[in-house]
Amino acid sequence: MTLAASSPLQPGTSHRARDFVFTFSYESYADAHKRGMMRPPDRLVSTLIDSPEVRRVLVADPFRSWITSWVRALVDIRHRARETDKFRHVSPMRIARADPVHVDDVAAVYRDYERIVRRAAEAAQLEQPAFVTASPLVGGFTDLDWTGGALYYARDDWLSSPARRRYWPAYREAYRRIAASGRAVAAVSQEIIDRIEPTGPHRVVPNGIEPREWLGAQPTAPDWL
């Protein structure tokens, strides 16, 4: 299914508030809350929660291991998500502490991840939610035919990360699938757009997405400038 025609990048034809799903890449909602919701993916979540144009939003953490979950629960207790009628949260769990390396195994893992997120979206009564992910693996290895359109928010070019070199084949295949699917891509640089070569809607966006910071009057330049 090509999702370009129903991309979250495109303005809706109705003033009715939409439902959204957002998934982090490698960090959790608790991680974002601990640092004060300061990074771009964190602020995107805050914007979705606060926006009157959003009816309900489900925020999904990346996979976490059952083995270490009790430790995280203790460390994150003050920062865990406080759900409301509008804001729901899911933290998918598995035994493994890290993703596999082989592309076919990665694809299987993220099919499982999608099933968990979809069940959470159904439990939250989301209707044709727009799906936004900061994870290239979620963006590339999921079907998402149950959503109202998908967008990959690319803050980093994962193929340029030496620390994740063993996952480069999976990232490369994820980029290829994102491009082939026609899914929308919003990236913080043209270099990332060029790397992915999306065939659907795409745009370079500022590495910061708090609208109130950009809509006010321009501040007076300091004397030294």
pLDDT for 6 beyond 50:
no
DSSP 8-state code for residue 65: E
Q: What is the pLDDT of residues 125-151, one digit of tens each?
A: 999 999 999 999 999 999 999 999 999
Q: How far apart are CA 135 and CA 132, in angstroms?
A: 9
pLDDT for 222 beyond 80:
no
The CATH class for the domain spanning 17-215 reads alpha beta
pLDDT at 223: 74
pLDDT for 72 beyond 70:
no
Q: Per-domain residue ranges for the chain?
A: 17-215
What is the mean pLDDT of the segment spanning 43-61? 94
What is the mean pLDDT of the segment spanning 191-211? 87
Give the 3-state secondary structure of residue 17.
Answer: coil
Q: Which helix (H) or strand (E) holds 60?
A: strand 54-60
Q: How far apart are CA 1 and CA 191, in angstroms?
A: 27
The size of the chain, in residues, is 225
pLDDT band at 39; cut points 50, 70, 90: confident
pLDDT band at 2; cut points 50, 70, 90: very low
Which carries the bigger pLDDT value, residue 52 or residue 14? 52
Count of alpha carbons within 13 Å of 1, Cβ hemisphere only? 13
Q: What is the pLDDT of residues 73-111, one digit of tens each?
A: 655 566 576 778 999 999 999 999 999 999 999 999 999
pLDDT at 17: 92
